[in-house]
Structure 1
Amino acid sequence: MLAPRLARSVLLATLAGYSLVTAVNILGTRASPVETGLGFLALLVMFGLQLVHSRPQARQSSYGWRVTTLGAQAVCCFLPLALFHLAWGAMSGFLAGSVLLLLPGRTAWPLYVAIGLSLFGYAALVADRGLFDSVYALETTLVTGLVVFGLSSLTGLVTRLHAQRADLARLAVADERLRFSRDLHDLLGYNLSAITLKTELVRRLVPEMPGPARAETDSILALSRQSLADVRKVATGYRDMSLREEATATRSMLEAAGIEVVTAIDTGALPPEIDTVLATVLREGVTNALRHSHVHQCTIRCWEEEGLITLSIANDGVELAGRSPDDADPTPLQAAVDEPGGTGLGNLTHRLGRVGGSLTTELSDDGWFQMTARAPLSGRPDTVDLNRKENAQK
């Protein structure tokens, strides 16, 4: 809050300085005590009205309120001229600045010039001053008005900028919380589901096959370590992943569970951002398959065509009975790996959208569920080109 306070302090000091000069000028006129008292009262009213007009929120006030306060300031500006003549002239600058602050530009600038010319006419015709003094009165009024207008506008700008910076900081915190939640879901959902599945296998294998059970235990330990590494990635913001590595790990895990897997990754080296997004899609797709299907077969394919990378994940075993996959009754094992309130597909759509991609899902009558992710290799294609390529793939 240092910058807004400093801006307000500079504005207040400037207004007080102009008012002090006018107060000294009033004392120099040797007016009667009553006239001097009236002058100081009018000066306090002018100073108070100017403080009100210089507030950042003054422009948002009702039009009637602005016109009324400007009228009061105009009365306090011009009536004392009859008593103190050009010794009161600096106050016309306050009125000129207030006009620029409160009224629309097409009205404010002509009035601003008219106030300056009125002081020139008063000095030349009423006060019978020479041309030099009249031009000086005009110049003083206009410059004072610009100073008041500029400092008041700058104070409002600094205040708004500081408030927007605070809003941006709050938005950044909220975005980071969302990122953390999304990444935690995407990175750990797969591993934790796999750990649950392999633990179930160990439970069944221990009585009859100690050797395979030990191998599965080692696999669980590796997955646990990977989960810990993923948590650290989320915390530090480094989340680069490899689609090929995820496809290999996924194939190993599903085959250990007795699921037939077909994988075909027919792409070259991918940009890190695209590689990470597609690897995340693969994890979420397999996690969803374990949650919502009695999977026996799973296919994972990825290919490149005309600069567009397509990843397709399909699995069988979806038992719908007229419902969507998310409504299918889970097995005890699926219930163990399911997590209520998950937002995996929404997260994936958001991630793909950030790299110019898209996500589609399709459910066939024979119980196969397919999730397809598409992303451009470079740049962000326009919507028409992306839709055309999606339709070509279909």
Structure 2
Amino acid sequence: MLAPRLARIILMGALLSFLCITMLNVLSAGLGAGLDLAALACVLAIFALQLRHSRPQAHRAPWREKVAALGAQALLTYLPIFVFKAQWGGMAGFLAGSLLLLLPSRLGWALYAAVGLSMALPPAFEGRPFLDSFYLGQSTLLTGLVVFGLTRLTELVRVLHDTRGELARMAVTKERLRFSRDLHDLLGYSLSAITLKTELIHRLVPTHPQRALTEIHDVLAISRQSLADVRTVASGLRDMSLVEEVANAEGLLTAAEVNVRVEMHAGAMSQQVSTVLAAVLREAITNLLRHSKADTCLIETVQENGRVRMRVENNGVDPDYRDPSAHSGSGLGNLTTRMHEIGGELRTDTGPDHTFRLVAEAPAFPERIPSGGDAVVPEPREPAA
């Protein structure tokens, strides 16, 4: 809060300086102690009103309240002129500045100019030279601009300070969401695979120990990959390969005794698109294993007219099935956000015979790709079905 406080101190210093100049002018006239005290009382009242007008969001006050405050300030500005003459003219600058601060732009500037012109009259009534009238009018307009400018600057400094704090909080929140989203996308698949293979190992140990040993090696490999994924999320480097993810999904589903059919005609695409589609495929396979009793699955990826479309379809959807684990996740929501970031879309629907279909479609090379995401993924070879 140092910057807003400093701006406020500067504004207060400027206002007090103008008040002191007016008081010095009044005291130099030698009008007597009684009138000097009256002038001091008027100066303090104007100062209080000006602080009210220079506070943040003062222009949002009700119209009646603003008119009453400006009326009081106008009386305290013009009535003492009959007693203190031109020596009181400096107070008109505060009124001019307040008009600019509180009133609509067109009306405020018109009245601001009128106040400046009106201050040319007191020296004329006293029989002073024209230069004195010009000086008092010009100094009134200048004081009004200073009051208006410093008040607006103080408010802008406060708004800028608050905005910087809000941007910092938004950046922290965005990073937390990124970390949560990436952790879910990367680890949800791996942990589901570990759970599946561990259950398979539990069944195989009594009757097929050698195959169980092979599955244990796979679990170790997946665990190491999960550790690497966690480090990847922490470092912000989240590149994945759609081709590798399709191969991993095919192997995992085969181990889960799901008949897999893969059709890969994805063509070349940017690394960013490959990463997002790989994350979508991971979530689709995770949902298949956790929320269905599928025995067939189709993974199809094609590219047409510069757009890549991936379709994952499986049977075995049980409307009454629910994942018993707590915090089952919000992966599809995360992936919808990711697809929108690359100009794509994600659609899901349930078809006849308890089938579930997920379709992700995006441009192969989005127009706006963050730095480091413009690598090109070559066209993959079609894997064996």
Which stretch has the larger CA shift, 364-373 or 240-249?
364-373
The structure 1 segments of at least 4 consecutive aligned residues displaced by more than 4 Å after TM superposition are: none
Partner of 2:350: 363
Question: How many Å separate the matches in 1 of 2:269 and 2:170?
Answer: 31
Is 1:252 the counterpart of 2:251? The answer is yes
Matches within 5 A, 1:297-376: 297-319=296-318, 323=319, 328-329=320-321, 335=324, 338-376=325-363
Q: Please state how far the C-alpha of 1:237 moved relative to its aligned partner.
A: 1.7
Question: How many Å separate the matches in 1 of 2:76 and 2:350?
Answer: 79
Contact 2:186 2:229 in 1 (8 A): yes
Letter in 1 for 2:329: G
Flag structure 2 segments of 5+ consecutive residues without an equivalent. Answer: 369-385
Q: Please state how far the C-alpha of 1:366 moved relative to its aligned partner.
A: 2.2
Partner of 1:107: 107
TM-score normalised by structure 2 residue count = 0.92
Letter in 2 for 1:364: G
Q: Please state how far the C-alpha of 1:277 moved relative to its aligned partner.
A: 0.7
Question: How many Å separate the matches in 1 of 2:349 and 2:135?
Answer: 81
Q: Percent identical across equivalent pairs?
A: 49
Question: How many Å separate the matches in 1 of 2:295 and 2:328?
Answer: 26
Partner of 1:267: 266
Letter in 1 for 2:179: F
Contact 2:267 2:302 in 1 (8 A): no
Letter in 1 for 2:20: L
Aligned residues: 368
Letter in 2 for 1:188: L
Matches within 5 A, 1:180-219: 180-219=179-218
Q: Please state how far the C-alpha of 1:378 moved relative to its aligned partner.
A: 2.8
Question: How many Å separate the matches in 1 of 2:136 and 2:345?
Answer: 68
Matches within 5 A, 1:82-121: 82-121=82-121
Question: How many Å separate the matches in 2 of 1:222 and 1:247?
Answer: 17
Partner of 1:388: none
Partner of 1:389: none
Partner of 2:69: 69
TM-score normalised by structure 1 residue count = 0.90
Partner of 1:385: none
Q: Please state how far the C-alpha of 1:362 moved relative to its aligned partner.
A: 2.8
Matches within 5 A, 1:8-47: 8-47=8-47
Alpha-carbon RMSD across the aligned residues, in angstroms, is 1.6
Contact 2:11 2:154 in 1 (8 A): yes
Secondary structure at the residue paired with 1:12? helix
Which stretch has the larger CA shift, 71-80 or 254-263?
254-263
Contact 2:292 2:316 in 1 (8 A): yes
Secondary structure at the residue paired with 2:361? strand
Letter in 1 for 2:223: S
Q: Please state how far the C-alpha of 1:30 moved relative to its aligned partner.
A: 0.4
Q: Please state how far the C-alpha of 1:339 moved relative to its aligned partner.
A: 5.0
Contact 2:269 2:365 in 1 (8 A): no
Partner of 1:241: 240
Contact 2:264 2:302 in 1 (8 A): yes
Letter in 1 for 2:186: L
Question: How many Å separate the matches in 2 of 1:379 and 1:211?
Answer: 48
Q: Please state how far the C-alpha of 1:341 moved relative to its aligned partner.
A: 4.3
Partner of 2:158: 159
Q: Please state how far the C-alpha of 1:329 moved relative to its aligned partner.
A: 2.3
Secondary structure at the residue paired with 2:108? helix
Residues 246-266 of structure 1: per-residue CA shift (max 9 Å, x gap): 111111111122222122221
Letter in 1 for 2:24: V
Flag structure 1 segments of 5+ consecutive residues without an equivalent. Answer: 382-394
Letter in 2 for 1:72: A
Question: How many Å separate the matches in 1 of 2:148 and 2:343?
Answer: 46
Question: How many Å separate the matches in 2 of 1:80 and 1:279?
Answer: 79
